[in-house]
Amino acid sequence: MLSNFVHSALTTGAKAVVPFAGGFALLADKLLWMNEVKTTPINALAALRSMDSPLMGFEMNPGDIWDNRAGLIRVHPGVKWEQRLAMIDRLHRKHASELQHIEEEERQGPPDLYHLFESRIIQNLRSFPFLRHRMNCSVLFVVEGQPGGQWEIDLRRSNRLLREGDSGDWLIRVTIPSRLLAHVLMDPDGWETLGISYKLDLYLRKRARIPEALLSRLIYTPSPSSLLRLLLAPRFAELVIRRRHEFFRMVRDKFVGLS
């Protein structure tokens, strides 16, 4: 992440840069460790300075203002990053009951979850038959809660792709609470939202990188009508016009990848 920030800052040639999205805290029990390895804006600015770049870097926090003439206007005192782990620990203990309630809710899915899972997978494979050939592997879903279990999709088979249990012969293992799986199956943005929340446990074996890139399409495939609405939306046309070079390169890469 730090290298991406530095590279982007140097590439754009901006006069000033502000690292962001680094001030959140993960309070769930199994995610607490991530706070210790997560970078902060201070780390990003230090990485930028290490490149001897003439770029000015600023730390901005909620409420701060950037003015074209006055520059950075601090509304609140800066964050004491050296105290952040102690602050996170206090928040974790303070909200322990709420966190437990959220976890219990996430493990309670709809009674027909397996049927929903099966029908969605079959529908997506029919809509995009190339998925089976491109992925060509077995994917294991470990669904936590009720209903739950181990549900495996073997895309190498010509029929009876889904089965319950763990064959051990999979490339990708997805561990997910039952309610969140239902959300992913029904919401076009569910997979991305789940990934950002860090509540998706994804384990990849060797040779799983290419199938992993198509995993979101296997789980949720937009209908033709939704794709048509996207193409006709004014915002899509504006995006194509403003970023036509990147857009056509992306389309070209997609078609080359499918050939």
**pLDDT at residue 148, rounded to an integer:** 94
Query: In tens digits, what is the pLDDT along the chain, a chain of 259 residues?
Result: 678 778 777 777 777 888 876 667 888 888 888 888 888 888 888 888 888 878 888 888 888 898 888 888 988 887 888 898 999 999 999 999 999 999 999 999 999 999 999 998 888 888 888 888 889 999 999 999 999 999 999 999 888 899 999 999 999 999 999 999 998 888 877 777 777 778 888 899 988 877 777 888 788 766 555 556 656 667 667 766 666 666 666 666 655 544 4
Rounded to whole angstroms, how far apart are CA atoms 58 and 16?
7
The DSSP output letter for 111 is T
**pLDDT at residue 30, rounded to an integer:** 86
116 exposure class (CB count in 10 Å sphere: 0-12, 13-18, 19+): middle
**Is-cis flag, bond preceding 147, omega within 30?**
yes
CATH 3.30.1050.10 residue ranges of the chain are 113-219
pTM attached to this predicted model = 0.71
**pLDDT at residue 246, rounded to an integer:** 63
Quickly name the fold that domain 113-219 has: Nonspecific Lipid-transfer Protein; Chain A (3.30.1050)
Q: Which amino acid is at 40?
A: T
What is the sign of the dihedral through the CA atoms of 148, 150, 156 and 159?
negative
Rounded to whole angstroms, how far apart are CA atoms 137 and 132?
8
